[in-house]
Amino acid sequence: MQQFSEAQHQIAVFMTDKNWHYSLSRAYLQQAYQLSKREFDLCELLINGYKLEEIAAKCGITLSSVRTYFKNIYEKTDCTSQIELMHLLMGCAIHFEHIN
């Protein structure tokens, strides 16, 4: 990944259709990055548009715990930011369209 100096700013915009659900490959992510079940679940929520606060509420854990999990995920995936992690996860995602 490209490294950015402290003076540089980054922004990423991810647009998704509300009818789409992103599903990650648990086997691949656990094998490639040694993610725990909880870490995998948090990644799947993140890629599906949940904010950290929403992830905490959905999983019944504190926001501080969510942040700690993501710090561990960044370390395991060699990512330095949420943007880098999202980029990595988007490459591992399978798209499913909800049919009403």
Cα–Cα distance for residue pair 28/6, rounded to 1 Å:
33
- Is 29 part of a structural domain of the chain? no
CA–CA distance from 62 to each of 40, 41, 55, 58, 83 (Å)? 17, 15, 9, 10, 22
Q: For residue 42, what are the domain limits?
A: 34-94
Check residue 19 and give its pLDDT. 58
Question: Could you tell me the pLDDT band of residue 98, with boundaries at 50, 70 and 90?
Answer: very low
- Is 68 part of a structural domain of the chain? yes
Cα–Cα distance for residue pair 80/84, rounded to 1 Å:
7
- Is 10 part of a structural domain of the chain? no
Q: What's the one-letter identity of residue 41?
A: D
- Is 41 part of a structural domain of the chain? yes
Please enumerate in sequence order all residues whose Cβ is within 8 A of that of 40, keeping only pairs 6 or more positions apart, or say none.
Answer: 24, 26, 29, 30
36-88: per-residue pLDDT in tens? 999 999 999 999 899 999 999 999 999 999 999 999 999 999 999 999 999 89
- Is 7 part of a structural domain of the chain? no
CATH number of the domain where residue 42 is located: 1.10.10.10
Q: Enter the tokens of residue 77.
A: 């995936």
Count of structural domains, the chain: 1
